[in-house]
Amino acid sequence: MSSYVTTKDGTQIYYKDWGKGQPVVFSHGWPLSADSWESQMFHVASNGYRAIGHDRRGHGRSTQTWDGNEMNTYADDLAAVFEALDLKNAILIGFSTGGGEVARYIGRHGTKRLAKAALISAVPPLMLKTAANPGGLPIEVFDGIRAGSVKDRSQLYKDIAGGPFFGFNRPGAKASQGMIDSFWLQGMMGGHKSTYDCIKAFSETDFTEDLKKFDIPTLVLHGDDDQIVPIAAAALASSKLIKNATLKVYPGAPHGLTDTHKEQLNKDLLDFIKA
């Protein structure tokens, strides 16, 4: 089934809700939707769990909001979904930008409704290169994404999906047109302003203090050939800030490993959920 949760500012957050059992909640990446998690949601729901995935405001089937396209509001929207569905003892899993949303949710709302968390190819602690974060990416990288979004958003998404996101630009890689088309379709369903604003949200938000508030078992999983969110300033740093984090590195895996390495990821996620 699928439905909507209305937040306090009137935004309608779309969610899908599959299966029965302990809830496993999935938070997606930019500029995608809950559809990007479908392989994992299908897998956990087929194995006795309740899989829930929402479309972030301005993305997918949720309201294309002009305002609130930043991490505090994203986290509060996620809290609204948790409260509307009265989810308890949940496993909260975030991919890429969604990993930032998970971190900020825990930073703002705590872990009282959570049993475990997982950060997959996730943006925390901070993507942007600063004096305090020399391993980050320079602002010019994100300015370039913004410029591409304004110039030809459709082509930008095709270029990202056809190149670095799934690692299809690597020697010997065999591109899947289906994966590229799915990425493009999900991206184009999102609002222009919302997806534009989200570039700042995922790149400039510092999640360091949020990560220090994690007090539940947490899986940090990343590919070491991630060209979108390089592992050194992301998973390797996050796993040091989170108490009792389990770090899992996929050798040679790209950013979009939810599709390229889905069999391995599905197994590892289910093992983590069951543990």
CATH code at 162? Answer: 3.40.50.1820
Provide the H-helix boundaries in the chain.
Answer: 38-45, 71-84, 97-109, 139-160, 177-189, 192-204, 208-211, 235-241, 257-260, 262-274
The pair of structure tokens assigned to 14 is 């779309």
Sign of CA dihedral 165, 168, 173, 175: positive
**Dist CA 211 CA 228 (whole Å):** 21
C-beta separation of 242 from 214 below 8 A: yes
Domain that holds residue 105: 2-274
**Dist CA 267 CA 125 (whole Å):** 26
The pair of structure tokens assigned to 43 is 């897998």
The CA distances from residue 7 to 3, 17, 62, 189, in Å, are 13, 18, 11, 20
Helix, strand or coil for residue 92?
strand
Give the DSSP H/E element, type plus range, for residue 94: strand 90-95
C-beta separation of 241 from 207 below 8 A: no
> How many domains, in total, are found in the chain?
1
Q: Which residue has the tokens 């510092």?
A: 206
Catalytically active residues are 96, 226, 255
**Dist CA 181 CA 88 (whole Å):** 36
Dihedral angle over CA of 226, 232, 235, 238, nearest 10: -150
**Dist CA 118 CA 39 (whole Å):** 16
**The predicted structure's pLDDT at residue 2:** 76
**The predicted structure's pLDDT at residue 244:** 87
pLDDT under 50 in the chain at which residues? none
The CA distances from residue 27 to 37, 47, 91, 120, 266, in Å, are 8, 20, 11, 10, 15
pTM score above 0.85: yes
Give the DSSP H/E element, type plus range, for residue 51: strand 50-54
Residue 182 phi/psi, 5° resolution?
Answer: -65, -45
